[in-house]
């Protein structure tokens, strides 16, 4: 039996990695085989270093992310799904649409054209968007990394982008308020998965 592909999205500091771990544990407790993975770096780990290093043009950034994603899909996600596992990815294509598209201003048609080849059209069954006001996200991530330097206006565009993507695909996206306690978010995610469990 083929598995199910789930993704978590949101601004840095929204609690995606915590929720990804809790979600994986929840599914494993129900006897499912689970593969927990992440982007950037899920396909080509060196890409993460390149992105967190020096400032790149948005085009170079997106093409590196796409190379990573192409490997991630082919080497990790699809083989796991075919083996019957449920795959939980902390970030996927929507991160690029929100950050490189809405955040950095790359045209969505180009992003989607590249993505069609990079992902082989693989779309998550459900995407949990942990929504957080940008002021709060910045407060949570703290200290001087590349992203903080990008500043509040960038974060605002990324958040708005995520919400627009969610509006466009209401059957795939589940938007959750990431200001609530960790357990509240986890329970909401689990409630959406119950009807999908075997
Ligand atoms: P991530 O490793 O999730 O950072 P953190 O662990 O701090 O949340 O992602 C690193 C950064 O890369 C993050 O700021 C989001 C950004 N990113 C994009 O801009 N586009 C993408 O497609 C992806 C996957 C990540």
Over residues 47-79, the pLDDT tens digits come to: 999 998 888 999 999 999 999 999 999 999 999
**Is the CB of 65 within 6 Å of ligand 1?**
yes
- Report strand pairing: 173-177 vs 5-10: unpaired
| pLDDT grade for 44, boundaries at 50, 70 and 90 | very high
pLDDT at 145: 59
Q: Is the predicted pLDDT of residue 163 greater than 90, yes or no?
A: yes
pLDDT, average across residues 165-171: 98
Reduce the DSSP state of residue 72 to 3 states and report it: helix
pLDDT, average across residues 23-44: 97
Domain ranges, residue 93: 4-196
- List the residue whose alpha carbon is closest to atom 13 of ligand 1: 12
> What are the pLDDT digits (tens) for 127-153?
999 999 998 888 887 655 555 667 889
Give the CATH number, domain containing residue 171: 3.40.50.300
> What are the pLDDT digits (tens) for 74-99?
999 999 999 999 999 999 999 999 99
* Cα 143 to ligand 1 centre (Å): 16
- List the residue whose alpha carbon is closest to atom 8 of ligand 1: 12
Q: Is the predicted pLDDT of residue 188 greater than 70, yes or no?
A: yes
**Is the CB of 42 within 6 Å of ligand 1?**
no
Q: In which residue are the tokens 């020096």 written?
A: 54
pLDDT at 146: 59
* Domain count along the chain: 1
User: 100-104 contacts: CB < 8 A, separation 24 or more?
Assistant: 100/58, 100/61, 100/62, 100/65, 101/161, 102/157, 102/158, 102/160, 102/161, 102/162, 102/164, 103/150, 103/154, 103/155, 103/157, 103/158, 103/161, 104/58, 104/61, 104/154
Pocket test residue of 37, 95, 98 for ligand 1, highest count of atoms within 8 A of CB:
95
User: What average pLDDT is seen over the chain?
Assistant: 94
- List the residue whose alpha carbon is closest to atom 20 of ligand 1: 96
């Amino acid at each position: 039996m083929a598995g199910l592909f789930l993704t978590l999205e949101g601004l840095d500091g929204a609690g995606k990695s915590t929720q990804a771990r809790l979600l994986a544990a929840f599914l494993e407790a129900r006897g499912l085989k689970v593969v927990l993975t992440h982007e950037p770096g899920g396909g080509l780990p060196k890409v993460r270093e390149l992105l967190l290093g020096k400032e790149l043009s948005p085009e170079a950034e997106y093409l590196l992310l796409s190379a990573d994603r192409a490997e991630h899909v082919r080497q990790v996600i699809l083989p796991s799904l075919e083996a019957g596992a449920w795959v939980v990815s902390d970030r996927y294509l929507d991160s690029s649409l929100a950050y490189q598209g809405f955040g950095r201003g790359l045209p969505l048609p180009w992003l989607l054209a590249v993505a069609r080849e990079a992902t082989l059209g693989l779309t998550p069954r459900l995407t949990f968007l942990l929504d957080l006001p940008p002021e709060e996200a910045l407060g949570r991530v703290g200290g001087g990394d590349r992203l903080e330097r990008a500043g509040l206006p960038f974060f605002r565009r990324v958040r708005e982008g995520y919400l627009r993507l969610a509006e466009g695909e209401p059957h795939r996206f589940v938007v959750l308020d990431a200001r609530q306690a960790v357990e509240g978010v986890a329970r909401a995610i689990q409630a959406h998965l119950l009807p999908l469990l075997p």
